[in-house]
Amino acid sequence: MKYAAAIFLFLLGASLLHGQDVPNSNQGWYFNNRVQLGWEQDSNVLEDLDDPRQGRSMRLLLDARGSRKWNRRALHFAYRGGLQLYDRLPREHKLIQEVETTALFTARPTLQVSAQMWGRLKLFLNQETDYAFGKGQLSLLKVLPAGFNLKTAIHVEMLDYAQSSFYNFIGPGGYGHVQYRFNRNLLATVFANVQWLTFNRPAYSDGPSYQVFQEPASHQKDQLLGYGLRIEAVLPGFIAQAAYRFENNASNSFAYDYSRHVAELLVGKTFAGFYLRGLLTLQKKAYPDDLVPFWPLQLDTEREENNYVVVDLSRALTPAFDLMVRAAWYRNESIWANLYYQKTLLTLSGEYHF
């Protein structure tokens, strides 16, 4: 049944790739589609702490994006579908579906209002760890004098696992940033965010000898505060982005307080018909509580990608077809808090875009 549902969802997403044939340019629609097929070598498929197991997989990605403008209004949508099938490791087969829509309204030349919905469905075809994540956001963007602009937003997000409510949460949040454009090539952004999450699981308190006790009639509630700085530079044939952010999570439950510093660097360079891109993310995360020996964080480790280096090299073989090779190293937090696993990935893929 799950395989049939997965195939149906993937084919439904693939049908969006033909949306380009329905509207025409007179209606103001613009579409950008791509199909990517690749092979990947993974040094630690099961993301084990001590006994990594290598594996190979086939990856298929569908990406459809469309937009339309009417005077002061605009509508954008995006669909991304990913299917990954592993050789000799069928328990890791997975299908990911993501949908995003954004509606924009320019109230004045210096004021823009937007509403955004984003959803993600991840299906493990041979495991019971499927989940859905959703987020809705309303935002205002105000253009200020002297090259500044201000953005404020409120949102709500939720996570729902199909077979376990322990990791489920829901909660509102807010975001704001101030941007300053030094010139056409350099942009700086100072940002801050806050998130309140209520989990379905109970709150816990610690006791002697690593014992924990469930708080009666009390759910875990977290408050996440963050702020940071991002610098972006764009030059002919070169792009770079550097960012730093600090986050602090305060919880009413034992073991879920933490703080972290995150630094990110992205660079892209074109040369001799090639495009080289590098991404570096480093995190230092600290828990004030004693988490020995294990404490559950979340089931999907991809939601906690912390330290990694990714380098990819691509080249357009034709105007519509690209070939790409990618190498990546990860040191991510596992499903257990403050315990990290490592893996390397090597990917070769071809992409057709239209």
Question: Residues 96-145: pLDDT tens digits?
Answer: 999 999 999 999 999 999 999 999 999 999 988 899 999 999 999 999 99
CA dist 69 to 34, 76, 105, 106, 139, Å?
Answer: 22, 9, 10, 11, 19
pLDDT at 224: 98
What residues contact residue 207 under an 8 Å CB cut-off, 6+ apart? Answer: 213
Residues of the chain with pLDDT under 70: 1-27, 209-210, 293
Beta strand 212-235 pairing with 238-251:
antiparallel
pTM of the predicted model as reported, rounded to 2 decimal places? 0.88
Please count the CA atoms within 13 angstroms of the CA of 171 that sit on its side-chain side: 17
pLDDT at 2: 56
Question: Residues 265-305: pLDDT tens digits?
Answer: 999 999 999 999 999 999 999 999 887 767 888 888 888 88
Q: How many domains does the chain have?
A: 1
pLDDT at 79: 96
pLDDT at 24: 41
Neighbours of 31 (CB within 10 A): 19
pLDDT at 293: 64
Task: Give the domain CATH number at 95.
Answer: 2.40.160
Range of the domain at 248: 2-20+29-353
pLDDT at 22: 45
pLDDT at 303: 80
Query: How far is residue 136's CA from residue 169's CA, in Å, rounded to a whole number?
Result: 15
pLDDT at 14: 61
pLDDT at 48: 92
